[in-house]
A = this chain, B = another copy of it.
């Protein structure tokens, strides 16, 4: 299949410089749009939404190993072996992160957010408004390890 080449639209500014697993609510974060490509009109009306979805790139050294099969989330022996597409670990094919965070303020080309689990300098690939019409429909089901993993995440 043809490769897909993306041009980051901006960058994450975060008080966290190293990837750690938990406690992301304590991190101050914003997204700075690339001023060479965008003006404030690209964000017009975004503040009518309470939340945004941020698509970003888990940047890492080029030789960083990417999981393509199954492993235990966080290496926890008490959690099951699950496929890389059944978990949200960053060492995954294409290293994309998708997180819905609360929009605090739009200030020119900068978007202040709460609950963005991306470290300083992460390339941002897209920003979308969170619409209730795109929420999951029907009853939710998830395994117990997924709830346990999230217990201290925020």
Interface residues in A90-138 (C-beta closer than 8 Å to B) = 92-94, 96, 98-100, 102, 115, 123, 125-138
Please determine whether B1 and A3 come into contact, CB atoms closer than 8 angstroms: no
Is A3 touching B4 in the complex (CB atoms < 8 A)?
A: no
Mark contacts of A8-36 with chain B using CB atoms, 8 A cut-off: 1 yes-contact digit, 0 otherwise: 11010000000000000000000001100
A48 touches B137 (CB 8 A): no
With A51-B140, A94-B6, A94-B7 as known contacts, state yes or no: A41 contacts B129, CB within 8 Å. Answer: no
| Alpha-carbon separation in the docked complex, A133 to B145 (Å) | 12
Residues of B close to A99: CB separation below 8 A = 134
Q: Which residue of B4, B53, B127, B128 contacts A8 across the interface (Cβ within 8 Å)?
A: B4
A60 contacts the other chain (Cβ, under 8 Å)? no
Contact A83 B42 (CB under 8 A): yes
Copies in the assembly, this chain: 2
The verdict on A42 contacting B69 (CB below 8 Å), with A92-B126, A98-B98 known, is yes
Residue of B nearest to A80 (CB): B45
For A92, the chain B residues whose CB sits under 8 A away are: 126
Determine whether the beta carbon of B45 is less than 8 Å from that of A100: no
Cross-chain contact B85 with A49 (CB below 8 angstroms): no
- Min distance, Cβ A119 to any Cβ of chain B, angstroms: 16
Residue A74, interface by CB 8 Å: no
| A125 vs chain B, min Cβ distance (A) | 5
From residue A143, how far is it (CB to closest CB) to chain B in Å? 4
